[in-house]
Structure 1
Amino acid sequence: MKNILDKYDLVVGLEIHVQLNTESKLFAADKNSFGDTPNSNVSPITLAHPGTLPKPNRSAISHAIKMGLACNCEIASYTTFDRKNYFYPDLPKGYQTTQDQHPICVGGYLDVKSGDDIKRIPFNRIHIEEDAGKSSHDAEHEGSLLDYNRAGTPLIEMVTEPEISSAEEAGNLLTEIRKIVRYINVGDGNMEQGSLRCDANISLKLKGSSELGKRVEIKNMNSIRNVQRAIAHEVERQAALLDAGKTVLQETRGFNDDTGKTTGQRTKEEANDYRYFPCPDLLPIHVSKEWVEEIRATLPKLPHEVLADLQENYEFNAYDAEIIADNKELADYFYETSKLCKHYKRIANWLIGPIKSYLNDSNIEIQDSVIQPKLLAEIIELVAADKVSFSMASTRVLPALIKDPNQSALDAAKQLQLLQSDDQDELIKTIEAVIASMPDKAEAYRKGKKGLLGMFMGEVMKKSGGKANPKVANKLIAEILEK
């Protein structure tokens, strides 16, 4: 792809659909829930019975404003809904209620990594719309099966300007949006469940030219990797057509994640063929400045703010900071632990190491951990005070506390007889016994093989049952070997 981009500029715009985690649907009181029995969350409004009228969900509008604020958008004081006319087999109304002329959020941007630099990706708008239902096609049934549970659930569509110039930038933008969605709790961002989906508008133009190429839209991709794969494939496909003197059709295509290729679905003669018009059943909504400020006050620190805070105020390196900031619950856990224990680097090491292993083995999230911040702080303080070695704390004290989190870390260490001994007389006896058992290795050490010190240290720790203070033991071993 690199050689192709020596000749062409890649131009990408994304349309990201985020399902909002409201309790009910956008215009009806039906339950908004994933995975329920098909067609159990429907009502006359969802099924478009004659005479039914929609009513806007205030929580959905509030969530859209919240996302707009997180993405540096201007929040419209006047917003309206429109009808988008297109054949939707899984929307009983036969049209989609969305926003065209007066979206809830205008402009905005997010900063993302682009190689070694940071690039600002601008948004055109963020608007609210309803989702369609789900069609299933299988060999056991004649025709298609329709589940209307998802029909009418609230979405926001985030439309970027066509200023993304690589698959990497597209992936990084999606990653940041998913993090923000979870941080501010407007959705779960689960792409595998369709809670976050992406359409990519992709075109090529000659290097340095101001004339844009024909745009191809890849629909409904449900993983960041697939978005990047689809962009890479389209670059090669479109470049091959242009190099052969052929025309790239303006069309909608689908992406096959098995083959990694796109296939044509329908051509689009005009960029906009949906015949939008104002929805006659819904009045305009006036958004007050007071309401916007109330919502702004509920915003937590955003991912990029947490990342900067960890590096600037807690002296994290970039790697540790990115891992902690990647997950709001993990970041919250760190901050809570840091109030109880000032060994910030040790907290990060435990969260990225032993705690992460425990969560993975248990298949749980940090918020479900029985090791609460207070308990982790106790473990870290024991290690920092040289009362228990890190090895013993992570392999024995931690498992004991997972089984019985009601005891203190100190009590667990005492019961396991793991408290390190500072009794030098006893430690010297242990060291001398170890050295005496390996006279050839002791002689090799004295002749210059200083790397053997670690081996002696390991044997001393083993013989002491892990209770020897490593710092003291290391010093004594070297002193005794030099005699």
Structure 2
Amino acid sequence: MTEKAHHPADISDELLATYETVIGLEVHCQLLTDSKLFAQDRNLFGAGPNTNIGPLTLALPGTLPKINKKAVEYAIRLGLACGCSISRRTIFDRKNYFYPDLPKGYQISQDKKPICENGGVKISVKNTAGQINEKLIRFHHIHLEEDAGKSVHDGSDTATLLDYNRAGTPLVEMVSEPDLRSAEETGAFVTEIRRLVRYLGISDGNMEEGSLRCDVNVSIRKNGESRLGTKVEVKNMNSIRNMMRAIAYETRRQVALLENNIEIQQETRMFDVENGQTYGMRVKETMNDYRYFPDPDLSPIIVSDEWLENIKASMPALPHELREKFTLKYGIPAYDAMVLTDTKEIADYFETVCSKTSSYKAASNWLMGPVKSYLNDHDGDIALFPVSAQSLADLIELSESGVVSNSVASQKIFPVLLAEPERTPTEIATSNNWLQNSNTNELETLVDEVISSMPDKVAAYKKGKKGLLGLFVGEIMKKSNGTADPKLVNQLLAGKL
């Protein structure tokens, strides 16, 4: 190796391919409860600094924590969705470390007995041949804990401001096994977790607001080795794209070190979004440094059979369940089902449309085509989509039954519906004379006009250029303002030519 190979950018793809990347994740997810985990202070993002605080959040002397039952239920709901075993008796521990945004000097978390254990999430990833494979990413456990406050640096060398609004916010931390092998798999894993917590209604999953944060543990080893390498933790990824960039850089950095016989240090690193590189922050603490011990102010939580059954009964349909339902009940392809279950809101809208029309594949095509195009231009929120499920189903029926052509439905009626959602598709089509023309005599006249206007094309068609048929059809559709019945036009043309 040359000296230049110390830099990650100088590691070739061929050399990189001789190593395996091993990745484990710690995903922190803020829960959508009204109040904090152990206090009655509001759990609300975007409020003015230090407004959602009280004596317990500030750890004033004499204050005692009280568990938020809804947060426990949300954690159990997540565990059930991931196939975890639910701890029927669980306790909280104190995780001791000093940092300015941690008012008590310790964090209330779970160590020896987390609320959920084992389980996992399935991801879909493409292999080198372009085929989609499913892979189970296992969880070691999921535990509850409180969030810390926030240190705000004003840009000067000395001033650091403290906002305690976030302190005490309920979190679930999902700790995966080291089952991930690439940035792409990791991106798919976090995407699936974000989709899952949104379906469950336990979190908004907004990474840009810090509702979902990831610490990524990255290590490498030579292909074929079974022993894990020294892991490096990259903290607080604020987007899936940046997390994938950080993994790609950190992998190359570690390969460069080993290729130059430099030992990888177990440490915590940060990711610089501007230059796409990680940089050292501190040497990684061991578990002993935190001096975990049971919190003496909190009683054990006992999850009774009745409580667990009530939570199970309140579980919504999950993405993988809806995908299976959409393919079996509505007969749509697996790809369509994957797209339509991207969000719970889209899946619900699709099901409502399907309750009003039996043209299920057409409904799928409309949602993945014109509807998705509209949503892409409007922040992707189906709640803001102006066309009701009934109106879209009516439009689909008009098109599928041949009352209007597909092009008229999508290019003419649909834009009017978006602008005037109170009108019906039938009313719009009728008032604009867009109903499909199946009058043989009228269409025959149009066919004759087009054929007589293009004698050279007719001659070429008769000599074997059958592809010109589309040209004739197109001209007739223009003359009819898109209302001519395409099937009848093709039949008349075939006879005339």
Class of the TM-score when normalised by the shorter of the 2 chains: over 0.9
- Residues 249-288 of structure 1 correspond to what in structure 2 (within 5 A)? 249-268=265-284, 270-288=286-304
C-alpha distance after superposition, 1:226-269 (max 9, x if no partner):
22222222221112222222211111111112222111111126
Q: Which moved more, 1:170-179 or 1:222-231?
A: 222-231
Task: Please identify, of 207-216 and 295-304, the stretch whose mean Cα deviation from structure 2 is larger.
Answer: 207-216
TM superposition shift of 1:69: 0.4
RMSD: 1.8
Distance 1:154 1:4 in 2: 44
Deviations 1:269-328 (A, max 9, x none): 635421111112211111112211211122222112222232333332233222112111
Partner of 2:63: 52
Match of 1:41 in 2: 52
Please give the per-residue CA displacement for 1:18-47, whole angstroms capped at 9, x wherever unaligned: 111111111112221211222221112112
Matching residue of 1:365: 381
**Structure-2 residue corresponding to 1:124:** 140
TM-score normalised over the length of structure 2? 0.92
Separation (CA, whole Å) in 2 of partners of 1:339 and 1:402: 21
Deviation for aligned residue 1:2: 5.5
Asked if 1:451 corresponds to 2:475, the answer is no
Q: 17, 20, 25: which one pairs with 2:31?
A: 20
Q: Deviations over 1:147-206 (max 9, x none)?
A: 222111111000011222222222221111111111111111111111111111111234
Cα deviation, residue 364, structure 1: 5.1
Matched-pair contact (CA < 8 Å) for 1:250–1:269 = no
The CA deviation string for residues 74-121 of structure 1, in whole angstroms up to 9 with x for no partner, is 000111111111123222222211111211101111222353432222
Q: Hey, what's the Cα distance between the residues in 1 that align with 2:289 and 2:432?
A: 72
Give the Cα–Cα distance (whole angstroms) in 1 for the partners of residues 379 and 22 of structure 2: 40
| Corresponding residue for residue 5 of structure 2 | none
Pick from 69, 73, 77: which aligns with 2:88? Answer: 77
Task: Confirm whether residue 405 of structure 1 aligns to residue 416 of structure 2.
Answer: no
CA distance in 2, matches of 1:234, 1:395: 48
**Does the CA-based 8 Å contact 1:4-1:236 persist in structure 2?**
no
Partner of 1:170: 186
Q: Aligned partners of 2:66, 2:459: CA distance in 1, in Å?
A: 87
On the 8 A contact 2:16/2:255 being kept in 1, the answer is no
SS in 2 for 1:353: helix
Cα displacement string for residues 123-159 of structure 1 (whole angstroms, at most 9, x for unaligned residues):
1100011112222212379501222221111110000
Cα distance between partner residues in 2 of 1:163 and 1:467: 57
Cα contact 1:88–1:132 (8 A) shared by 2: no
Q: Is the contact between residue 272 and residue 278 of structure 2 (CA under 8 Å) also seen in structure 1?
A: yes
Q: 1:7 to 1:463 in 2, by over 3 A?
A: closer
CA distance in 2, matches of 1:3, 1:194: 37
* Higher deviation after alignment, 414-423 or 403-412: 403-412
Letter in 1 for 2:374: Y
Structure 1: state its 5+ residue gaps: none
Q: What letter matches 1:106 in structure 2?
A: E
Q: Find 1:193's aligned residue among 202, 209, 231.
A: 209
**Cα gap change, 1:211 to 1:125, in 2 (>3 Å):** same
Distance 2:396 2:156 in 1: 58
Q: How does 1:282-361 map to 2 (within 5 A)?
A: 282-361=298-377
What is the rounded CA distance, in whole Å, between the counterparts of 1:269 and 1:383 in structure 2? 64
SS at match of 1:84: strand
Is 2:169 the counterpart of 1:158? no
The aligned counterpart of 2:4 is none
The structural deviation recorded for 1:4 is 4.2
Q: What does 1:406-445 correspond to in 2, within 5 Å?
A: 406-445=422-461
Deviation at 1:348, TM superposition (A): 0.9
Partners of 1:349 and 1:61 in 2: how far apart? 40
DSSP 3-state at the match of 2:377: helix
Deviates more, 1:299-308 or 1:152-161: 299-308
Matches of 2:20 and 2:158, distance apart in 1: 46
Residue number in structure 2 paired with 1:247: 263
User: Would the aligned equivalents of 2:270 and 2:278 in 1 still touch at CA under 8 Å?
Assistant: yes
Q: Deviations over 1:321-341 (max 9, x none)?
A: 221121111111111111111
Q: Equivalent residues in 2 for 1:197-208 (5 A)? A: 197-208=213-224
Counterpart residue identity of residue 245, structure 1: N
Q: Report deviation, 1:350.
A: 0.4
- In structure 2, what is the Cα distance between the partners aligned to 1:140 and 1:253? 23
CA distance in 1, matches of 2:379, 2:224: 50
Work out which of the residue numbers 371, 379, 398 in structure 1 matches 2:395: 379
- State the partner residue of 2:3: none
2:100 alignment counterpart: 89
After superposition, where does 1:200-239 map in structure 2 within 5 Å?
Answer: 200-239=216-255
* Runs of 5+ consecutive residues of structure 2 not aligned to the other structure: 1-11
Query: How far apart are 1:212 and its partner, in Å?
Result: 2.3
**Aligned-residue offset at 1:445:** 2.1
* 3-state SS of 1:39 partner: coil
Q: How has the CA–CA distance of structure 1 residues 368 and 9 changed in structure 2, closer, same or farther, with 3 Å as cutoff?
A: same
- How far apart, CA to CA, are the structure 2 residues paired with 1:82 and 1:459? 76
C-alpha deviation, 1:349, in angstroms:
0.8
Moved more, 123-132 or 165-174: 165-174
> What displacement does 1:416 show?
1.7
Using the alignment, how far apart are the partners of 2:286 and 2:156 within structure 1?
38
Change (3 A) 1:375 1:141: farther
Question: Over residues 41-83 of structure 1, what are the superposed CA-to-partner deviations in whole Å (9 max), with x where a residue is unaligned?
Answer: 1112112222222211111111000000001100001111111
| Distance across 1 between alignment mates of 2:431 and 2:36 | 54
Report how far residue 13 of structure 1 moved.
Answer: 1.1
SS in 2 for 1:237: helix
Deviation at 1:5, TM superposition (A): 5.4
